[in-house]
Structure 1
């Protein structure tokens, strides 16, 4: 298995605006959906490297994204985001 650098996961509860640090996440979806999320993360990482992007949203990539059916995933470039 590949060694990974440090990272954090943050999230918000449904109907809330305050972000909290999470210990773990679970993704409930069919294998095709989980694969699409993985492909999104790989593509975002590549674009962050090539285009020096600060962040990208899943909702901006998938044409059929619906806030009632999906959860937005925001990939943040830790090289550009300052920790508070």
Structure 2
């Protein structure tokens, strides 16, 4: 399991298009991934979950990845977000 805090740099945050790109790419990884924003937990492999998360630009989230490709997932998320 790898855990990292990542500050979102995507212009306007995770709105529809980047959220869809995020979900599509993450579903290509085997690892289980969770986002934590404040006290709330979100599944970044679900479009509905990402749309309800309302993650804004400049917001810091905690990302947890667990699985065979967890390092690759965290590295990709760090670059993407």
TM-score between the two structures when normalised by the length of structure 2: 0.29
TM-score between the two structures when normalised by the length of structure 1: 0.29
Q: Which has the larger radius of gyration?
A: 1
- Greater RCO between the two (CA within 8 Å, min separation 6)? 2
